[in-house]
Amino acid sequence: MSKEPLLIADAFFVEKAGMLTLLQDAGRFGQANLGLTHGGPADAHAFYWANRLLDNAPNSCALEITVGGLILKSNISSCICLTGANIPLKINGQLRANWQTHQVKKGDMLEFGFAESGIKAYMAVAGGFQVDKQFGSVSTVVRESVGGLSGLAIQPEDKLPAYEPAQQPSHKKQLEESQQPNYSDDVLLRVVLGYQVDSFSKVEQLKFLTSSYQVSKQWDRMGYRLEGEPISSTQTAMLSEGIALGAVQIPPDGQPIILMHDRQTIGGYPKIGSVFSLDLNKLAQCGQGTSVSFKAITMEDAHNELHLDRYRFEQASIIETAW
Amino acid sequence: MSQFNVKITTASENSLILYFGESEGRVVSDDISQQIQIVKQLIELEFQTAIIELIPSYASLLVTFDPFLLDHFKIRHFVTQAVLPNANHSSDATLSEKVVELPVYYGEEVGLDLSRIAECAKLTVEQVIAKHQAQDYRVFAIGFAPGFGYLGQVDEQIATPRLATPRSAVPKGAVAIADQQTAIYPAQSPGGWNIIGRCPIDMFTPEQQQVMPFDVGDIVRFKKIDKQTFISMGGQL
């Protein structure tokens, strides 16, 4: 008879919460009628890989660690994985590789250092963190006080529940190094032009597509405000309307704002289009001073790229070795 | 209901935005609000789980779809057909227009901007309050924050532009005006709307089955209450 997995209420105890650590699943969808935004992982690529390496369901809840500084004490025998930003992970003082599964046992100390490249890292546990969903999702949106543990970012002394697997996997899994992303300080964002694009003259559109912008000090999970060549719209008063992920809003000062996962659901500034989601993953790994430029892409090309990316994700080779 | 006039525009890799009315999303009316509700329901019925999100607003509907289940051509085609004059949408879509009455205390200690609005409009404070209550409002959109409904249209005489410098903390329950819109702040937050009163009813209660008292498309009616009633209904000063 096989053993049942056992739910451990304090599978991980938070010794230090780090700069900003959030419980995230894939996001909260279909709740815009209440004014609730999507939330979800800022870098979906790294998030899905953390769950994939552990054979978790894709939507399983993981920790989004911003920059680092998190320390957890394990009260469980299980497996974990860290993907995304290059944050050094030490288990009981010993450095462990990212993009790879690791065994943990009761009493282990998991120490997450500070990012050497990138900003957002994802720590997943076998089976996912077991936190009650609110409005269909665990994703924490601090601005809305929704999701996570009581709508808050992870706090010191929080207890994170998880299942103790009935048996440990026989192999460790690892994403081949050549397939791990390099996070750079120079990103090219493909944009599907749309919304009020016609209210920007051809000259203004060219300015937008040929200039280089810098990420300002105002960047977070809601949006990235850029600095550079201002562009202007002929749009006058506008009624508030629904905002898609990645929408590039141009306020009266002409400096673009890219709206991210925790964006408000509706807004009234003109928008020139929306950044392609696969490129938002790269932007989410960048902070102040990053150089950003734009390139137009059609909806059909974006569609094609999404399907190719999904196929590559499914086909990617995972290295399995004995522990 | 007048003829549907819908312009379909690309919004993102997996979103289309539909603009309603002859002026393509620039004018607000009850008719347009109802058309948006109908098209929203038709899209839900047709595409079901292939739709990730639908965000109705004043004169637009943002449609976000799962790009692994659907492409934009299918949605464009469906919407174009569904709004043709001979398409029979009334049989599939039903309009809900719940009328919700919300109590408001307009006392001077909570109606921080009442006297300024009255001065600008060359009215008395009582006249401003009377005008705010005299009519029904439609819920045109919900957003900005959980539970925040944009209601319109406020009488032009008391329509007031946003404050030049937003307040850092507008209290929970504040009833406010910005141009021809009115709203109730569901929680304390920064805000630039002109505050005229306070509502003792919670706008966002995640623990209850009915999370909000109204939906987009519903009608809201404000009822003036005195301080004692406000406090007895759980209102906080």
* C-alpha–C-alpha distance, residues A14 and B157, integer Å: 56
Smallest CA–CA distance, residue B214 to chain A, in Å, is: 10
CB contact burial A191-213 (16+ within 10 A = b; e otherwise): bbbbbbbebbeeebbebbeebeb
pLDDT at A161 over 90: yes
pLDDT category at A313 given cuts 50, 70, 90 is very high
Q: Cβ A195–B9 below 8 Å, yes or no?
A: yes
**Residue B186 and residue B212 share a domain:** yes
Query: What is residue A2's predicted lDDT score, i.e. its pLDDT?
Result: 56
Phi, psi of B65 (to 5 degrees): -120, 160
Query: For residue A33, which residues of chain B lie inside 8 Å, CB to CB?
Result: 142, 215-216
- Asked if the structure places residue B1 within a domain, the reply is no
CA distance A44 to chain B (A): 15
Domain boundary among B91, B118, B140: B91
Predicted confidence (pLDDT) per residue in A170-195, tens digit: 899 999 999 999 998 899 999 999 99
Size of interface A-B (CB pairs under 8 A): 131
Residue range A115-146, pLDDT digits in tens: 999 999 999 999 999 999 999 999 999 999 99
Residues B212 and B103 in one domain: yes
Q: Which CATH architecture has domain A186-311?
A: Beta Barrel (2.40)
Please name the residues between 29 and 48 in chain A that touch chain B, using a CB distance below 8 Å: 29-30, 32-36, 38
Question: Is position B237 within any domain?
Answer: no
pLDDT surpasses 80 at A30: yes
Closest partner residue to B68 (CB to CB) among A134, A194, A310 is A310
CA distance B162 to B192: 5
Of residues A36, A243, A246, nearest to B146 (C-beta): A36
Residue B51 shares a structural domain with residue B105: no
- Residue B132, domain member (yes or no): yes
pLDDT level of residue B27 (50, 70, 90 thresholds) = confident
- Give the pLDDT score at B91: 63
Residue B26 touches chain A, beta carbons under 8 Å: yes
Interface check for A174 against chain B (CB to CB < 8 A): the answer is no
- Which A residues 119-158 touch B at CB under 8 Å? 134-135, 143-146
- Mark yes or no for CB contact B55/A247 under 8 Å: no
Residue in chain A nearest B144 by alpha carbon: A264
Shortest Cα–Cα distance, A217 to chain B (Å)? 21
> 170-189 in B: which are within 8 Å (CB) of A?
187
Number of helical (H) and strand (E) elements in chain B, helices listed first: 5, 13
A146 contact residues in B (CB cutoff 8 A) = 146, 206
Selecting from A242, A274, A306 the residue whose C-beta is nearest the C-beta of B60 gives: A242
Residue A216 has pLDDT above 70, yes or no: yes
Amino acid A284: pLDDT: 98
Say yes or no: B58 and B152 in one domain.
Answer: no
Q: How far apart are CA B11 and CA A225, in angstroms?
A: 20
* Nearest-CA distance A252 → chain B (Å): 15
Whether residues B149 and B223 share a domain: the answer is: yes
Task: Specify if B178 maps to a domain.
Answer: yes
Asked whether residue B55 falls in the same domain as residue B150, the answer is no
We report the CATH number of the domain holding residue B143 as 2.40.100.10
Residues B43 and B75 in one domain: yes
Tell me, yes or no, whether B179 and B123 share the same domain: yes
**Shared-domain flag, residues B56 and B112:** no
How many other β-carbons are positioned within 10 Å of the β-carbon of residue B81?
A: 10
- The 10s digit of each residue's pLDDT in B35-84 is 999 999 999 999 999 999 999 999 999 999 999 999 999 999 999 999 88
Residues B118 and B49 in one domain: no
Last residue of a domain, one of B91, B117, B140: B91
Does the distance separating the beta carbons of A194 and B9 come in below 8 Å?
A: yes
Query: Which ipTM value was assigned to this complex?
Result: 0.96
pLDDT digits (tens, 9 = 90+) for B190-223: 899 999 999 999 999 998 999 999 999 999 999 9
Report how many domains make up chain B.
2
Cα–Cα distance, B12 to A223 (Å, whole number)? 16
Domain of B21 in residue numbering reads as: 6-91
- Cβ proximity of A201 and A128 under 8 Å: no
pLDDT score recorded for residue B1: 62
Contact B17 A135 (CB under 8 A): no
Q: How large is the angle between the packed helices B125-133 and B114-121, nearest 10 degrees?
A: 90
**Mean of the per-residue pLDDT values of chain A:** 96
Per-residue pLDDT tens over the stretch B69-122 = 999 999 999 999 998 887 766 666 777 789 999 999 999 999 999 999 999 999
Residue B106 lies in a domain: yes
Judged by CB atoms closer than 8 Å, whether chains meet at A193 and B10 is answered as yes
Measure in Å the smallest separation between the Cα of A321 and chain B Cα atoms: 33
CATH code for the domain of B84:
3.30.1360.40
pLDDT for B22: 81
Q: Which residue has the higher pLDDT, A301 or B161?
A: A301
B12 vs A contacts (CB less than 8 Å)? 192, 194, 244-247, 273-274
Are B84 and B105 found together in one domain?
A: no
Could you give the CA distance from residue B158 to residue A47 in angstroms, rounded to a whole number?
50
Tens digit of each residue's pLDDT (9 = 90 or more) over A82-127? 999 999 999 999 999 999 999 999 999 999 999 999 999 999 999 9
Cα distances (angstroms) measured from residue A133 to each of A48, A121, A137, A150, B143: 19, 22, 5, 11, 21
Q: Where are the domains of chain A?
A: 6-174, 186-311
**B213 and B105 together in one domain:** yes
* pLDDT bracket for residue A261 (50, 70, 90): very high
Whether the predicted pLDDT of A1 surpasses 60 = no
